[in-house]
Amino acid sequence: MSVLTPPASKEHLQAFLNLTGAALGCRSDADMARTMGMLPSAVANWRRRGVVSAKGVEWFQTRLIQSIFYVSPDLPPLSDTGANAAVIDLIAKTNGNPIDASENVRLANAVSLPGLVALAQLFAALALLNGYSAKGAEEADWWGLLEEAMPMFRASPALQGFTS
């Protein structure tokens, strides 16, 4: 997903790292690096150099989504109406089963809701970072972004008991 590729601009990279770190629940660059399975100095080095390593780019593109779910056990603040609407839209368009649970669908939804909201909020923030206006970001097709992210989201270890 291109929205999860760290930006080339040093200014936008700082914001990208701040947003993704917050979505991961990290309190520092070292905490974020440890969450990513990297040396504690990795994120600080990216900030200083203005570029993310190839290993870091790969992690953002392949592991960020499931990691957000895994570290977001509590429902984030519900202040972003566009993101909230996207989650509701995703649930409606998937007949109430966004993670494609094979059993215990209600419990699977309850378990996955905090991660879905955190992910939608991250997508909304990244859309603004990538130059969309606030109004445009609210009206964006969040369901499309979330739908595209669902295979990675479903791969989260916390959801393995629900999906086939």
Mean pLDDT score across all residues of the chain: 79
Q: Counting every residue, how long is the chain?
A: 164
- The more confident residue out of 33 and 64 is 33
CA 17 to the chain's CA centroid: 12
The answer to whether 64 touches 4, Cβ cutoff 8 Å, is yes
Res 30: pLDDT: 96
- The more confident residue out of 81 and 141 is 81
N-term to C-term CA, the chain: 24
Confidence class of residue 137 from pLDDT cuts 50, 70 and 90? very low
- The more confident residue out of 36 and 70 is 36
Give the pLDDT confidence of 82-136 residue by residue, as tens digits. 777 777 777 777 888 887 887 788 887 777 777 788 888 888 777 777 665 544 5
Looking up tokens 């990691």 gives 67
